[in-house]
Amino acid sequence: MRKLVAIDLDGTFLNQYYTISSLHASTVKKAQQKGAEIVIATGRANFDVQRLFQNEQLSTWVIGANGATTYDPEGHLTVSLPMETIYAKEIITWLNEENYYYEIVTDNEIFITSKAKQLLQDEMDIVQSAERSEMERARERQLGQANLQEIEDYIDVFQSEKEIYKITIVSFDEERRRIAADTLSKKGLNLFSSADFNLEIVDNKASKGNALKKLAKKLDMKQDDIIAIGDSMNDLPMLEIAGTKVAMGNATEEVKQHCDYTTETNEKDGVAHMLEREILQK
Positions marked active-site: 8
DSSP assignment of 40-70 equals EE-SS-HHHHHHHHHTTT---EEEEGGGTEE
Q: Are 190 and 207 in contact (CB under 8 A)?
A: yes
d(CA 207, CA 47): 18
d(CA 166, CA 235): 16
Reference 204, options 178, 186, 217; nearest CA is 186
In which element (H, E) is residue 91 found?
Answer: helix 85-97
